Amino acid sequence: MSAFGTLSTPVGVIGVVSDGAAITRVMWRSTPPEGGVVPPDTAADPLLVEALAQLTAYFDGTLRRFDVPIDLGVQTAATRAVLTALHETVGQGETITYGGLAARSGTEVPARGIGSIMGANPVPLIVPCHRVVAGDGLGGYSGGDEGRGHETKRWLLEHEGALPTSLF
């Protein structure tokens, strides 16, 4: 059975799922996903407590790198390689292009395919898909509250110092 907890942030309510051994999902929602997730009860899962504390520190500006264990779930070898390369090599305040991440991952995934992998990332923020940008701009982002993905991506990159703060 997995545990679920939430955190209110400047970019919406973040929901986190832990199986006790690893964080398995991070999402923008305040209710547990279907399928074997217990109601919010962080006290029963110390890893969930730690993940929520690290997310709080991230949004407070005092945490630059997450160190909770993650489980990416069932993925293709290429998807796992891309997400692992992103998680291990692109730090806070940095960005990488879709093509740059494709090359860094050592896979044959084209830049357009990298975008699809970012959209399927089960643990955004911890695996920082918001740091992957287009060669000519921000690119897309499926995180954040519905319809606010681009705004969320911009906020996260400004928060990390990777973009100058917007005047508007």
The catalytic site residues sit at 129
Which amino acid is residue 31, in one-letter code?
T
Q: What residues contact 136, with CB distance under 8 A and at least 6 apart? A: none
CB atoms within 10 A of CB 77: 8
The structure tokens 């070898």 sit at 77
What's the alpha-carbon Rg for the chain, to the nearest Å? Answer: 15
Q: What tokens were used for 115?
A: 């975008």
Using CA atoms, how far apart are residues 102 and 93, in angstroms rounded to an integer?
20
Q: What residues contact 168, with CB distance under 8 A and at least 6 apart? A: none
The values of phi and psi at residue 5, to 5°, are -145, 165
Is residue 107 within 8 A of residue 78, CB to CB? The reply is yes
